[in-house]
Amino acid sequence: MTPDIKPLVAGNWKMNGQRDQLDQLALMSKGADAELSQKLDIVVCPPATLLYVATALAEDTGLKVGAQDCHANASGAHTGDVSAEMIADCLAEYCIVGHSERRTDHEESNADILAKTQACWRAGLKAIVCIGETEAEYDAGQAETVLSSQLAGSLPEGATDQNTIVAYEPVWAIGTGKTPSPEDIKAIHEFLRNELIERLHGPGERMKILYGGSVKPSNAAEILMIENVDGALVGGASLKAEDLLSICEVYRKV
């Protein structure tokens, strides 16, 4: 946690979830009660097919809704793509950009992600910008260099704590059950905080830095209490309301 930063837990459903999963979303919005949502922002990012119905289910509750990606353009001949404006039109408030699965599966570059982040702002969405090193880079001691260049390349001028959230997701920790040690997470988040302050000054002090990669109810308390960890981006454990809410509950007592 960081003093004066309201934490955020976001669930990234990835390419999972059909209509029969909406009961989980309804349970999440019930669990995001007034007391809990005062302590943290709770966001669920279902696939685009469920976005509009998800915002309707979450309306007037403590649960907020986000998308998982957007195109950089507002509209046009881009078959199969979804623009930030379309996401905003579904009444979602957040959009993940630069997830390592997009960087790998769709060969997205830092420049692509920078353009998508600007698209989010243009549409009034908060961008959750993901960065993270691979296992080989981690083993070679290159994590900080990689993260620094991803931040420099994918975070546009004008990033503030109001329009952008950074998510640190070591690629080797995603869906593997492996996590860095608490000491490693602390060191990397402190490094990222300093990079953000150097670059953005005041807003860099206040920008949320999430940790993502194998966060689950059993390790959430330890990870979320680390200095400069301002919440989590949760994959697998966000599909069940019980698990996502149990991660969020860590903040109820603090």
Name the residues that contact ligand 13P, by CB under 6 A.
12, 99, 169, 174-175, 212-215, 233-237
- In terms of CB distance, is 153 or 217 closer to ligand 13P? 217
Active site residue 133: no
Smallest separation, CB 11 to ligand 13P (Å): 8
3-state helix, strand, coil in the chain (%, to 5): 50, 15, 35
Instruction: Decide whether 131 or 200 has the Cβ nearer to ligand 13P.
Output: 131
Task: Report the alpha-carbon distance of residue 113 to residue 102 in Å, rounded.
Answer: 10
Among candidate residues 137, 169, 189, 195, the one labeled active-site is 169
Q: Are strands 126-131 and 94-97 parallel, antiparallel or unpaired?
A: parallel
Q: Which one, 37 or 100, has the nearer CB to ligand 13P?
A: 100
Nearest distance from C-beta of residue 171 to ligand 13P, angstroms? 9
Tokens of 53: 């119905």
Catalytic (active site) residue 135? no
Active-site residue identified among 99, 133, 189, 195: 99
Spatial CB neighbours of 6, under 8 Å, sequence gap ≥ 6: 39, 40, 41, 208
User: Amino acid letter at 1?
Assistant: M
C-beta of 180 vs 213, nearer to ligand 13P:
213
Rounded CA gap, 147 and 109, in Å?
A: 13
Task: Specify the residue, 47 or 203, whose C-beta has the smaller distance to ligand 13P.
Answer: 47
| Element containing residue 224 per DSSP (H, E) | helix 217-224
Q: 126-131 and 231-234: which strand pairing?
A: unpaired
**Could you tell me if 101 and 146 are in contact, meaning their C-beta atoms sit under 8 angstroms apart?**
no
Residue nearest to ligand 13P (CB): 235
Backbone angles phi, psi at 158, to 5 degrees: 95, 5
Report the distance separating Cα 41 and Cα 60, nearest Å: 14
Shortest reach from residue 45's CB to ligand 13P, in Å:
8
Strands 231-234 and 209-212: parallel
The residue type found at 252 is R
Write out the catalytic residue numbers. 99, 169
